[in-house]
Homo-oligomer: A and B are copies of this chain.
């Protein structure tokens, strides 16, 4: 037994107690809670920005890098966008109570599979304070209680946001314990949460690879783990090269620090001579570093200003999260499939081709949560997919795969209506 901090124990008990009520809340009350949250984000924006400034200044002083600072930052515009996301969740259908299946057996038993909340969801996240609101609003809408444990770096922002969420939810009539925020930022708290299988039904880690690994290895309850995206785009010999340039450029550059960004570009040998200089020129223009296999290197070295570098062995299967791309020339679709099967992380993979048979084989054979033909992997996202929002992106095969929206944070129960049936 891990010994449990008193704050954590009390909050977990409160969350568990809330769950029995949460399961039966009307959509109206749940939506009202979300509307309150969205409104308050704007009403209290100056307080929130002031709290965020404390975090930001401390982080700046401690020498945090620009990418992390950017994740930490709240602005008026970002608050408005967060509020907009919360309002978007109010417009989604309430999944709870849905009758998923109905069957009547020959013996007269009426069996229904009915959607119910999962229970208590524990969220462990790092520096992005918007996660406090995003996860809370999804969890509440699906009738789940949530225990939030954000990173030390964003403690003032998270505390201010969590207080706002709690008050807004309570005002709508949600029970105490629906949203619990753990203020203690001691690292040992995370480990304690991971042992609380009697209180927490699901853990969602949101952060870097080391956090996710730690959570997976130490949690006694199910974990929705994902977020590690080693994403490939394969440019086929029958690709429209302009589309292929636009798609690969977008996937690599539009937001390089996130999981659905392009890491390795695979290019069919027949079009490598034409395609590689084109895409490389675009990438280099915005500062992307090219790590090339022998063949692509020999092609790109003909244009020295592209400064292609030889790829190291560990560039294959690496999630760069930065303006670095690995490039490899392959002899065939089969070689591309083989490479992706070996090095992919099961997140998002794309092919660019005008040949439907080739596209369909790729879509069929690649075993990943999201497989694209002729589009950027950057679309792997709950909002982009029309799910309204997401708790995270699962690269697991159990329970849910890809973006985790409202439906994915529910469970179901079987309800059986009888009239005295016994088993013969």
Contact = CB atoms under 8 A, between A and B. Distances in A.
A375 B109 contact: yes
A254 interface: yes
A250 B412 contact: no
Contacts of A365: 20, 24
A11 to B, nearest CB: 20
A421 B379 contact: yes
A411 B401 contact: yes
A301 interface: no
Contacts of A243: 419-420
A85 interface: no
A386 interface: yes
Most buried by B among A111, A119, A201, A378: A111
A246 interface: yes
A217 B378 CA distance: 37
Nearest to A378: B423
A423 B364 CA distance: 24
A130 interface: no
Interface residues of A, number: 64
Contacts of A419: 243, 374-375
Interface in A110-165: 111, 116, 118-119
Number of copies: 2
- Chain A binding surface SS class: mixed
Interface in A356-394: 359, 363-365, 367-376, 378-380, 384-386
A418 B374 CA distance: 5
B341 A416 contact: no
Most buried by B among A20, A222, A422: A422
A105 interface: yes
A214 interface: no
A423 B384 contact: yes
A118 B423 contact: no
A250 B418 CA distance: 14
Contact of A422 (B246, B396, B399, B413): B246
A370 B411 CA distance: 12
Given A20-B341, A246-B422, A422-B246, A402 B414 contact: yes
10 closest cross-chain pairs (CB), A and B: A375-B418, A250-B422, A243-B420, A397-B411, A378-B423, A399-B399, A374-B418, A375-B421, A222-B398, A370-B414
Interface of A: 20, 23-24, 103, 105, 109, 111, 116, 118-119, 201-202, 217, 220, 222, 240, 243, 246-247, 249-251, 254, 341, 359, 363-365, 367-376, 378-380, 384-386, 396-399, 401-403, 411-423
Given A378-B422, A399-B399, 13 more contacts: A105-B385, A109-B379, A116-B367, A119-B367, A217-B220, A243-B419, A246-B420, A372-B416, A374-B417, A375-B419, A376-B422, A380-B414, A385-B414
